[in-house]
């Protein structure tokens, strides 16, 4: 009767990895229980999400090696993996499921960085923003409901919002990865999208210093002013203080990404018999909600939804 925080499947977003082919299921060794799916399998996962009451999927492509390039041009291909998956989901299920799409170049570049680089390997902010605008329009035209720029380039939210409006996509939302930290928790994700062995250098030049909190508020303020509909903090549990500060300061919808390393830690703990997996999953997700999250991107989404249905 006096519980202050609730958790339901409506608070979950399910990240899924798309790969080429048909009937393909590729288990990801560093993410036990998570696989890459070909487009037909992604549609089946979307049907599953609808049945479980999960309102939104987040898509990430494992771009074919021969389609990666220094300039990430595959991101602009209207028939790339991401766009094919968006169209297939929307053709099958329409508006019964939301589709959130990642905007960044790391799944498409030969060097694994989120943007274009110069001869010294430095990521070029303004040149990258131009490509991200084209990538966003490409995904919106395919049917994406929410564009989620994860690249951390300055000024990209305003540029993307203006382009979406000019192209007639007035109802396409932007969920900005506004406070994305240069974290050590991303390793399994990079395996999943095929960029871990490609990454040259690190991403500390444009992602945030894990030591900083005030900077997060400045980043969020800038993205809201430029037109973001909601904001994200990434990673999740080690940064719940950031979630709380952002929610208290701005009062906008705040999401957090319970990233691949966080998922892998829970799975490793359960495999070692060191804890009750189901209880830890639900407690972790409840902590996100208690900190102020409207929702959580989590690889445990389907499992958690089933647990919640049991009551």
What pLDDT score does 4 carry? Answer: 97
Give the fold, CATH level 3, of 9-310. TIM Barrel (3.20.20)
CA 99 from centre of chain = 11
Instruction: State pTM to two decimals.
Output: 0.95
What pLDDT score does 165 carry? Answer: 98
Which residue among 180, 200, 204, 310 is the active-site one? 180
125, 139, 131, 123: which is closest to 85 by C-alpha? 139
> How many of the other CB atoms lie within 10 Å of CB of 40?
14
Alpha-carbon span 18 to 36, nearest angstrom:
6
Catalytic status, residue 234? yes
Taking only the tens place, the pLDDT of each residue in 170-186 is 999 999 999 999 999 99
What pLDDT score does 311 carry? Answer: 78
Catalytic status, residue 90? no
User: How many CA within 13 A on the CB side of residue 221?
Assistant: 9
What pLDDT score does 225 carry? Answer: 98
Alpha-carbon span 250 to 220, nearest angstrom:
9
Question: Is 219 within any annotated ligand binding site?
Answer: yes
The answer to whether 113 and 201 have CB atoms below 8 angstroms apart is yes
Domain coordinates in residue numbering, the chain: 9-310
What pLDDT score does 196 carry? Answer: 67
Which residue among 90, 200, 203, 234 is the active-site one? 234
CA of 142: how far to CAs of 82, 89, 146, 174, 206, in Å? 9, 10, 12, 15, 29
Low-confidence spans in the chain with pLDDT less than 70: 196
């Amino acid at each position: 009767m006096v519980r202050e925080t609730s958790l339901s499947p409506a608070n979950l977003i399910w990240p899924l990895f798309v790969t080429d082919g048909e009937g393909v299921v590729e288990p990801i060794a560093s993410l036990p229980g998570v696989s890459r799916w070909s487009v037909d399998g992604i549609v089946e996962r979307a049907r599953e999400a609808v049945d479980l009451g999960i309102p939104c999927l987040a898509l990430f492509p494992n771009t074919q090696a021969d389609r990666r390039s220094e300039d990430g041009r595959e991101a602009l291909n209207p028939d790339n993996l991401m766009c094919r998956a968006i169209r297939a989901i929307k053709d099958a299920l329409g508006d019964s499921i939301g589709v959130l799409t990642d905007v960044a170049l790391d799944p498409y570049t030969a060097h694994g960085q989120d943007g274009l680089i110069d001869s010294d390997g430095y990521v070029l902010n303004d040149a990258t923003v131009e490509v991200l605008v084209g990538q966003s329009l490409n995904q919106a035209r395919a049917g994406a409901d929410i564009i989620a720029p994860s690249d951390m380039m300055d000024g990209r939210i305003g540029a993307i919002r203006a382009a979406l409006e000019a192209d007639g996509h007035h109802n396409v939302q932007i969920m900005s990865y506004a406070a994305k930290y240069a974290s050590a928790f991303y390793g399994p994700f990079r395996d999943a999208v095929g960029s871990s062995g490609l990454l040259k250098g690190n991403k500390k030049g444009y992602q945030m210093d894990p030591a900083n909190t005030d900077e997060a508020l400045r980043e969020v303020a800038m993205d809201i002013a430029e037109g973001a509909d909601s904001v994200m903090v990434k990673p999740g549990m080690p940064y719940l203080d950031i979630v709380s500060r952002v929610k208290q300061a701005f009062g906008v919808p705040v999401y957090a990404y319970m990233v691949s390393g966080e998922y892998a830690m829970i799975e490793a703990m359960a495999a070692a018999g060191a804890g009750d997996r189901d209880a830890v999953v639900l407690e972790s997700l409840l902590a996100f909600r208690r900190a102020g999250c409207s929702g959580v991107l989590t690889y445990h989404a389907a499992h958690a939804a089933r647990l919640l249905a049991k009551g």
